[in-house]
Amino acid sequence: MTVEFMDTLTSYIASLRRQGKPLLSPPLHWTILSNGAADLHDCIIIFVFEANKTQPALVVKVPRLPEDGLALQLEYDRLVELWEHLGPYAAFRVPEPVAMLTLGAQPAFVISYIHGESLLRASRRKIWGKPEKVYSLAIDAAEFLRDIVDRTATQLQVGENVPTDILKKIEKFREMYHFTEREDQALEGLIKNIESMRRRSTHKALIQGDFWHGNMIRNSSHGGLMLVDWQYSRWSTDVSLDVYLFLLAGALASAPQFPFEERARGAMEVLLQWRPRIIPDYLQAFGKPDQCTLMPARYGMLLCCVEKAVRASMDLGFDQVNDLIWRLLFAELVNLSDESEFYNEI
Amino acid sequence: MESKYRSETSFQHSLPKSSSDWRFLLPITENSRVLIIGGEQDDFTDLFNKIGVSSVTWLCNPSAVAGELNENNQNYFDIVALPFGFPAAKLTDEIEVFRTVRRLLHPGGSIFLGFSNKLGLFRKAFIANSYQSTPHHVIRHLRLSGYSDIDLYGVMSNLETPEYIFPLKADLLGFTLQHRYRYLLPARLLHYFSSRPLVSIVLYLLSYYFVIAKSNHTPETNL
């Protein structure tokens, strides 16, 4: 055989043991999923199969560029922490972090495979545009999220300062785009809100950082939601990013996809349609966090737009054209007429 | 008038035209000397440099492979990759190209080749420079040309940016079909298409393949 990376990887995985027994039965087989077409900063996904099995046992995420291994290391570390906090219950919520490897210079992150239906692909046909399905998913997602927040909430130590780079992100957002006066005022309001929330915080929780339907899988054995892709996960005193991103990403998925301006406008229309029932019931299902902070929707939604609009630029060092949608949605959210009462009481 | 948003041209694209994930199949190290042949633009040199492989040569025109051969680079390369194949008017040309590549490789070096299957189901329109053959012919001609340790991989659904790459095993193809078409085909139909008896036949009727083979440890002069 000439396939050295794959050989080294499968040999390593074959040597993994749990409670003295091999984790998987050799010989192991594999399939590569070239995730994200040719984007150099994406990972490829390798499915690893046990002998004579038709479904994978493990998934390996391998960054195309070794320099992007840091994000995987972070994901591994966060998942390990999450498993410590969730205990045996973790297996029903998130993939198990099995190993973080460096083979040669090539990092590889090994996690358990989740058998189930990816909502990224299934939701196009089955959920968006069907209010009852959206409602049901939203309530499920809110309860899931609240559960994770409650189980990971940890009291801050005296003098503990949970690091956040949100102010840097707002600064970057301002560098990247031109803003109207009204938008500038909204950003100022967001900064004041963030500072006020930080002063009130007494606890931190592990947020996922990219809580949207594309990272959810409906498990085929127990039927519950499971959440993958924890590379943006972090400790935070405020849980607004996860809570509101789910709504915004869902609205964007429900809108026409092109051109961008129309997509942002369409997403705003979807949010307005969801406003009477889906949004308040989603927020109610999440509930008022007892320990961490949650911003009002007006600022929480803007926070999501800023975070998503600058993410690639700050993390990867270049802008992705698709991130422009978040800048456009920011404008829609800010320019919502005061008479719309969209933000009242949420 | 100043635009409200940054112009689209200020967004750099991180997307090369061609994927190079096939590199994970190859025994490439920092010291490897790699020759990549084919493709419309050099998407490869920069990537290989970024992963620490500094000795990479890119040659645009697969027809010029023979022209690459000179005293300086005989038995020079560790890897010669033709991810999109080469134009071959007739099957006997295959042997000629394989032998030429073998002269470029040092003994034990690897050839990597992508090709479309003449017998392939659902093959897309002919791509310029795409090499058409059959798994049977490629394996036979590689053996005749002095290669061994030949491994064949199924590729879906094109050679330029393949979505799936897998060793040719029925169960792996079955899973790949399930994964690829789960949300596109009715469950019962997909179950039938990905059943073991059917995929065992389809394995050799795929549209695209990658093949890797090692040059035998015999000096070129013995050919």
pLDDT at B94 over 50: yes
Q: What percent of chain B has pLDDT over 70?
A: 77
Q: Which of A73, A58, A81 is nearest to A12 (CA)?
A: A58
CATH of the domain at B110: 3.40.50.150
Beta bridge partners of A227: A216
A297-316 and A324-334 helices cross at what angle (nearest 10)? 160
Asked if A60 and A48 count as a contact pair (C-beta separation under 8 A), the reply is yes
pTM, two decimal places: 0.90
The predicted model gives B201-205 an average pLDDT of: 92
Phi, then psi, of A21 in degrees rounded to 5: -110, 150
Cα–Cα dist A108/A100, whole Å:
6
In a domain, B221, yes or no: no
CB contact under 8 A, A49 and B179: no
Q: Where are the beta strands (DSSP E) in A160-259?
A: 203-207, 216-219, 225-227, 234-236
B19 interfaces chain A, CB cutoff of 8 Å: yes
Lowest mean pLDDT among A195-199, A306-310, B61-65: B61-65
User: Where along chain A do its domains lie?
Assistant: 4-112, 116-340
Cβ pair A6:B165 closer than 8 A: no
Number of H helices, E strands in chain A: 11, 13
* A65 part of contact set with chain B, CB < 8 Å: yes
Instruction: Tell me the C-alpha distance between A255 and A265, whole Å.
Output: 8
Residue of A nearest to B154 (CA): A31
Q: Which residues contact A286 (CB under 8 A, 6 or more apart)?
A: A142, A143, A145, A146, A243, A294
Q: What is the 3-state secondary structure (H, E, C) of B53-95?
A: CCEEEEECCHHHHHHHCCCCCCCCEEEEEECCCCCCCCHHHHH
pLDDT of residue B95 exceeding 50: yes
CB-nearest to A44 from B3, B8, B24 is B24
Q: Is A219's pLDDT higher than 90? A: yes
In a domain, B48, yes or no: yes
- Mean of the pLDDT values across residues A149-165? 94
pLDDT digits (tens, 9 = 90+) for A115-124: 998 998 778 7
Nearest to B4 among A47, A122, A178 (CB): A178
Please report the pLDDT score of residue B222 as a whole number: 43
Domain enclosing residue B74, as ranges: 17-165+205-215
Burial label for A122, CB within 10 Å (0-12, 13-18, 19+), is: middle
pLDDT at B120: 82
**Alpha-helical runs (H) found in A275-345:** 278-286, 297-316, 324-334
Residue B117: strand pairing partners: B133
Share of chain A above pLDDT 90, in %: 81
Start-to-end Cα distance in chain B: 69
The answer to whether residues B159 and B208 touch, using CB atoms and an 8 Å cutoff, is yes
- The one-letter amino acid code at B219 reads P
Residue B215 CA to residue B103 CA, distance in Å, equals: 9
Buried b (16+ CB within 10 A) or exposed e, A176-185: bbebeeebee
pLDDT score recorded for residue A339:
73
3-class secondary structure, A81: helix
Asked if residues A237 and A149 have their Cβ atoms less than 8 Å apart, the reply is: no
Query: How far is Cα of residue A22 from the mean position of the Cα atoms in its chain?
Result: 32
Distance (Å, whole) CA B154 – CA B120: 11
Query: What's residue B62's pLDDT?
Result: 65
Q: Is the pLDDT of residue B10 over 70?
A: no
Write down the pLDDT at residue B160. Answer: 85
Shortest alpha-carbon distance between residue A41 and chain B (Å): 8
Q: Which of A4, A32, A47 sits opposite B27 (nearest CB)?
A: A4
pLDDT band at A38 (very low <50, low <70, confident <90, very high): low
3-state secondary structure of A305: helix
Give pLDDT tens digits for B155-197.
998 888 899 999 999 999 999 999 998 888 888 998 888 898 9
Interface of A with B in 131-170 (CB under 8 A): none
Residues of B in contact with A10 (CB under 8 A): none
DSSP state of A323: G
Residues A48-62 have a mean pLDDT of 95
Tell me if B196 is assigned to some domain.
no
Residues from chain A that touch B10, judged by Cβ atoms under 8 A, are 319
Residue B21 falls inside a structural domain: yes
Instruction: Give me the interface pTM, i.e. the ipTM.
Output: 0.88
In this prediction, residue B124 has a pLDDT band, given cuts at 50, 70 and 90, of low
Report the topology of domain A116-340. Aminoglycoside 3'-phosphotransferase; Chain: A, domain 2 (3.90.1200)
Q: Which chain A residues are Cβ-neighbours of B26 within 8 angstroms?
A: 2-5
Among the partner residues A54, A180, A316, nearest to B175 by beta-carbon distance: A54
A252 pLDDT higher than 70: yes
* Residue A49 contacts B, CB cutoff 8 Å: yes
In this predicted model, which residue has the larger pLDDT, A302 or A120?
A302
Segment B142-165 shows an average pLDDT of 93
Question: A278-286 vs A260-274: helix axis angle to the nearest 10?
Answer: 70
Tell how far CA A248 is from the center of its chain: 12
The confidence band for A61, taking pLDDT boundaries of 50, 70 and 90, is very high
Interface of B with A in 142-171 (CB under 8 A): 149, 151, 161-167, 169, 171
A117 compared with B67, residue with greater pLDDT: A117
Q: How far apart are CA A257 and CA B49, in angstroms?
A: 36
Nearest-angstrom CA–CA distance, A51 and A25: 6
In words, the CATH class of domain A4-112 is alpha beta
The two beta strands, B77-82 and B33-37, are parallel
- Report chain A's mean pLDDT, rounded to a whole number: 93
Domains of chain B: total: 1
What number of C-beta contacts closer than 8 Å exist between A and B? 131
Report d(CA A323, CA A315) in Å as an integer: 13
Work out the minimum CA distance from B162 to partner chain A, whole angstroms: 7
> What amino acid occupies position A178?
H
Candidate from A66-80, A111-125, A167-181 with smallest mean pLDDT:
A111-125
Please give, rounded to a whole number of angstroms, the shortest distance from the CA of B187 to a CA of chain A. 13
In one-letter notation, the amino acid at residue A264 is A
Interface probe with A: pick from B1, B10, B21, most Cβ of A within 10 Å: B21
Q: Which pLDDT value is given to residue B13? A: 43
Residue B110 host element (H or E): strand B105-117
Taking CB atoms and an 8 Å limit, are A319 and B52 in contact across chains? no
CB contact under 8 A, A40 and B52: no
Kind of pairing between the strands at A29-33 and A43-49: antiparallel
DSSP for A216-229 reads EEEETTT--EEE--
